[in-house]
């Protein structure tokens, strides 16, 4: 599977955006609220590298992760030709379902699934093409 982005959990998205800009990244998608994840997200690119900044809102299920990990990368997103097949394949390899398949408005309407591995942490798998 191809890597789409690295998810980076942040306390304040505006400060993280300033830092990425200083590091040579450019904004691919401006910060916007994702009601499904109850978080503000933005995408930044530098060459072939893409970072998703994620600032959880107060009641977001991601807020406890921010308290635990502070500002840090927390997932890698891969693209799959067949999301259901990829989900089943990785579950059969011992990955545990963290968040089942749902829409990701900030990923152009692709569907995503989150899985957890003791050896790799959280991975996100997204549809290769938007719906």
Residue 118 in this model has a pLDDT that exceeds 90: no
Q: How far apart are CA 73 and CA 43, in angstroms?
A: 14
**Tens digits of per-residue pLDDT, 49-94?**
999 999 999 999 888 888 887 899 999 999 999 999 999 999 999 9
The proportion of the chain whose per-residue pLDDT surpasses 70, expressed as a percent, equals: 100
> Is the pTM above the cut of 0.85?
yes
Q: Please give the Cα distance from 71 to 17 (Å, whole number).
A: 12
The answer for 47, left when phi > 0, alpha when psi is -120 to 50, beta otherwise, is left
Q: Which helix (H) or strand (E) holds 20?
A: helix 13-22
- Segment 98-125 shows an average pLDDT of 93
Digit-coded pLDDT (tens) for 4-20:
999 999 999 999 999 99
Rounded distance between C-alpha atoms, residue 104 and residue 35, angstroms:
9
Domains contained in the chain, CATH given? 2-127 (3.10.180.10)
């Amino acid at each position: 599977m191809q890597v789409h982005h690295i998810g980076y959990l942040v306390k304040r998205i505006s400060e993280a955006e300033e830092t990425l800009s200083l590091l040579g990244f450019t904004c691919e998608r401006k910060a916007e609220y994702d009601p499904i994840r109850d978080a503000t997200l933005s995408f930044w690119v530098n060459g072939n590298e893409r970072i998703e900044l994620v600032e959880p809102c107060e009641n977001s299920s991601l807020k406890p992760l921010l308290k635990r990990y502070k500002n840090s990368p927390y997932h890698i997103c891969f693209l799959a030709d067949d999301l259901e097949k990829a989900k089943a394949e990785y579950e059969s390899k011992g990955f545990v379902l963290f968040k089942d398949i749902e829409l990701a408005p900030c990923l152009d309407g692709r569907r995503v699934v989150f899985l957890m591995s003791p050896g790799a942490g959280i991975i996100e798998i997204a549809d290769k093409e938007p719906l």
